[in-house]
Amino acid sequence: MSGKPQVIVLPDAHAVAAAVTQRLVARINESREAGQPCVLGLPTGKTPIGVYHHLVHLHREGSLDFSHVVTFNLDEYYPMPADSPHSYHRFMHHHLFDHVSIPPAHIHIPDGTVDDDKVADHARWYEQQIQKHGGLDVVLLGIGRNGHIGFNEPGAGPETRTRRVQLGATTRTDALADFMDAAVPREAISMGVGTMLDAREIILMATGAHKADIIHQALTMTPDVTVPASFLQSHPAVCVLLDEAAAQVLNHETA
Ligand code: GLP
């Protein structure tokens, strides 16, 4: 059925962020030494904020160059103006891009402002850009409580590519806190599960007890569209980094 994801459990979210940072920094520096671009797939959400914080810190210290880094974000709400406080554009610029030496032309985020009848063309273009840059070297993922990765909600299989998607009730409820008084969008543009599985390396990070059940399911069930993250099991180079809280159901079973 599947490969065997490497699972690393660390004491807390700080340790997870530090370990994920170390892996990303290794890839970024290897590519630089090889004179190659480093093509990253990047997530939003609370989980990766600590990683972005570390990357900014290392860049400010002078020990991490981003001039050869090319990024593709996993998703963006649709419709969504880039300058909205709720946009993933704003999130990424605020937490990472505004503070590191990445050339603006290297940054790719699905465009939440394209016309309704142009979304499919834009999604195709996004996939082509990933190909043009040689494919994703590393994709960093968080996970939603319903097993979504990017905005690939239950029902999304390994054949999916970048496209317009509907957001489910759990995802929209979980996003409420970020939206305050504004309505959570019903749709998004998301990289597909297949796009992510084509990456040479996948790093999945999860922290907190609220992720424990879905992590257990995603890593132990027979891969199925009910939990899109379960398809990660089939990837030959996936590493799952968890804190104790997110690993508690998994640990309970294997103890
Ligand atoms: C959103 C993003 C996902 C992210 C998920 C979990 O749905 N589209 O990429 O993994 O939220 O977010 P958090 O890390 O805040 O739990």
- What pLDDT digit, counting tens, does each position of 175-231 carry? 999 998 789 999 999 999 999 999 999 999 999 999 999 999 999 999 999 999 999
The pTM of the full predicted model, rounded to 2 decimals, is 0.97
Nearest to 45 by CA among 85, 80, 91: 91
Q: How far apart are CA 32 and CA 20, in angstroms?
A: 19
DSSP, res 112: T
Is the model's pLDDT at 252 over the cut of 90? no
- Which domain CATH number covers 163? 3.40.50.1360
The conformation of residue 140, written as its DSSP 8-state character, comes to E
- The answer to the question of residue 166 being in a domain is yes
Atom of ligand 1 nearest to the CA of 151: 8
Residue 255 has pLDDT above 60, yes or no: no
Per-residue model confidence as pLDDT tens digits over 152-168: 999 999 999 999 999 99
**72 phi/psi in degrees, rounded to 5:** -130, 115
Identify residue 139 by its one-letter amino acid code: V
Is residue 138 within 8 Å of 204, Cβ to Cβ? no
Q: From atom 9 of ligand 1, which residue's Cα is the shortest distance away?
A: 150
Tokens linked to 20: 């994920």
What does the pLDDT look like over 108-139, one tens digit per residue?
A: 999 999 999 999 999 999 999 999 999 999 99
What domain range includes position 231?
6-254
Q: Domain count for the chain, please give it.
A: 1
Index of the ligand 1 atom closest to the CA of residue 188:
8
Residue nearest to ligand 1 atom 5, measured at CA: 144
**What SS3 state is found at 193?**
helix
1 belongs to a structural domain: no
